[in-house]
Amino acid sequence: MTHIIQPGNPEAAPAPDTTDIPAAHAPAKAPASSDVPPALKRRVPKYSDLAPLMQFKKPEFSKDARLKRASTIWELRDIAKRRTPQAPFDYTDGAAEEEITLRRARQAFLDIEFRPGILRNVSAIDLSTTILGKPSRLPVGIAPTGFTRMMQSEGEYAGSRAAESAGIPYTLSTMGTASIEDVAAAAPNGRNWFQLYLWTDRDRSLELIERAAKAGNDTLMVTVDTAVAGARLRDVRNGMTIPPALTLKTVLDASYRPAWWFNFLTHEPLTFASLSRYTGTVADLINSMFDPTLTFEDLDWLRDTWKGNLVVKGIQTVEDARRVVDHGADGVVLSNHGGRQLDRAPIPFHLLPEVKEAFTKDHTDAAIMLDTGIMSGADIVAALALGADFTLIGRAYLYGLMAGGRAGVDRALEILEKDMARTMALLGVSSVSGLTPDHVRLLGKH
């Protein structure tokens, strides 16, 4: 029989007939109170139950507390952005043209799949390695970065001392804002490397090489991807100059970043490893000083001149990796200058397996290092698994520097170390030498 329900008259609806509904589909009866387990019976909470949950911590606003709250390099970047004026922050954070290369480099580390092994003893993780004939406590070093005291007043002194404390190499840039001798004095027990841009004035280049050797640097890293300056558009838009100029825009920017400006204005003016003073744009400086006529013959000259380890930074093809080794290089750095030179350049992480295969076929023991895009310890582990002997970080440590000076660099290295140890333990690998290509699978076309 069909029951018609009259609109607006709910009382007209008859009660449903459940006589023919099977017992299995009948509505469940609420359990009697005696059937409810004691732990599920409601009661008025006691103070003794609430007290352990009411442990309010006193807010902490110190630099150490701020850095401790950062659990990733990205979180250090957030702090750095809040504390640093836009022009120096963008100089660090930005890349060339549309910044496609930088985005692709970071995405390359995300487009992988780790392949862990199980039932391995990972109670102790050994992150130490050997690079260019000497031990390093971690498989990562600090890359050369220019104008570092512009990012934060402690600059190269913070970076070199943090590296010394961590037992890893530190690389001073030709465009560093501290002299070769001052960095050596600041970190006398550290492993200091020197990065060289070959100048059009060879006598000045030779002077730098001699100073680096005298100061105890055991490795010379020549950068070869700066024939001309890249189009770093953030710097153009910000009117970036060396040193930063006090314009109306920068004064307004300083109004809510007073600590940076106070430090900048109350310390010694920026000086450089390679020249005493300079005023102008970064691009003008590069184009006026660096030699666009460099060839492999210049590399031969360097090999004859420098008696320590010679590393070539800026390698972006397998062919060039092989050629620089043939011309005497002890190692290569697969790098596109952090995406700051040629946009849409090859991605070092993608190039890595090809270079490793080529060096294996050539029976060369030249070191393969890699930079660009590293933002976590997992990135470093992936690079080591695919064949890198060592890695270098630039932005990752600079974010720490801008976030908190020397303590911020220490925190960045601590984050990366914990990331690496955890990733390796979860992969079932207890030492760097145990990492192999079987632990990583590249997703997509690569």
- Which of 75-79, 110-114, 263-267 is the least confident region? 263-267
List pLDDT tens digits, range 52-86: 777 767 766 688 889 999 999 999 999 999 999 98
With contact defined as beta carbons under 8 Å apart, do 114 and 428 qualify?
Answer: no
Average pLDDT on 17-25 reads 54
Question: Could you give the percent of the chain with pLDDT greater than 70?
Answer: 84
pLDDT category at 1 given cuts 50, 70, 90 is very low
Structure confidence at residue 31 (pLDDT):
60
Average pLDDT on 138-166 reads 96
Structure confidence at residue 332 (pLDDT):
98
- Residue 23 phi/psi, 5-degree rounding, is -60, -35
Burial status of residue 260 (CB atoms within 10 A of its CB: 0-12, 13-18, 19 or more): buried
Burial 223-241 (b: 16+ CB within 10 A, else e): bbbbeebbbbbbbeebebb
Structure confidence at residue 271 (pLDDT):
65
Higher per-residue pLDDT: 240 or 184 = 184
Q: Is the peptide bond before 243 cis (omega within 30 degrees of 0)?
A: yes
pLDDT category at 446 given cuts 50, 70, 90 is low
Residue 198 has pLDDT above 90, yes or no: no
Structure confidence at residue 149 (pLDDT):
92
pLDDT category at 272 given cuts 50, 70, 90 is low
> Choosing from 337, 350, 439, 446, which is the catalytic residue?
337
List pLDDT tens digits, range 314-328: 999 999 999 999 999
Residue 440 has pLDDT above 80, yes or no: yes
Higher per-residue pLDDT: 280 or 367 = 367
Which structure tokens are listed for 355? 């270079």
Distances (CA, A) of 425 to 110, 120, 130, 150: 19, 9, 20, 38
Average pLDDT on 162-182 reads 95
Q: What is the CATH architecture of 104-439?
A: Alpha-Beta Barrel (3.20)
- Tell me the Ramachandran region of residue 278: left when phi exceeds 0, alpha when psi lies from -120 to 50, beta otherwise: beta
What is the spatial distance between Cα 98 and Cα 390, in angstroms, rounded to a whole number? 29
- Which of 12-21, 298-307, 322-331 is the least confident region? 12-21
Residue 24 has pLDDT above 60, yes or no: no
What is the spatial distance between Cα 259 and Cα 408, in angstroms, rounded to a whole number? 15
Higher per-residue pLDDT: 166 or 225 = 166
Residue 246 has pLDDT above 60, yes or no: no
E strands, 319-439, where? 331-334, 367-370, 390-393
Average pLDDT on 135-164 reads 96
Q: Which element (helix H / strand E) includes 29?
A: none
With contact defined as beta carbons under 8 Å apart, do 136 and 168 qualify?
Answer: yes
Average pLDDT on 385-407 reads 97
79 DSSP assignment: H
In angstroms and rounded to an integer, the radius of gyration of the C-alpha atoms of the chain is 29
421 DSSP assignment: H
Structure confidence at residue 44 (pLDDT):
84
What is the spatial distance between Cα 218 and Cα 310, in angstroms, rounded to a whole number? 9
Structure confidence at residue 17 (pLDDT):
56
Q: In this structure, are strands 390-393 and 440-442 parallel, antiparallel, or unpaired?
A: unpaired
Residue 5 has pLDDT above 90, yes or no: no
Residue 256 has pLDDT above 80, yes or no: no
- Tell me the Ramachandran region of residue 195: left when phi exceeds 0, alpha when psi lies from -120 to 50, beta otherwise: beta
For the chain, the structural domain boundaries read 104-439
With contact defined as beta carbons under 8 Å apart, do 403 and 159 qualify?
Answer: no
Residue 267 has pLDDT above 90, yes or no: no
Assessment of whether the complete model's pTM goes beyond 0.75? yes
25 DSSP assignment: G
Higher per-residue pLDDT: 333 or 244 = 333
Residue 289 has pLDDT above 80, yes or no: no
Residue 207 has pLDDT above 60, yes or no: yes
What is the spatial distance between Cα 341 and Cα 3, in angstroms, rounded to a whole number? 79
Average pLDDT on 97-125 reads 96
Average pLDDT on 336-346 reads 94
Higher per-residue pLDDT: 19 or 110 = 110
Residue 260 has pLDDT above 80, yes or no: yes
pLDDT category at 342 given cuts 50, 70, 90 is very high
Q: Is 439 a catalytic residue?
A: no
Structure confidence at residue 378 (pLDDT):
98
Question: Could you give the percent of the chain with pLDDT greater than 90?
Answer: 64
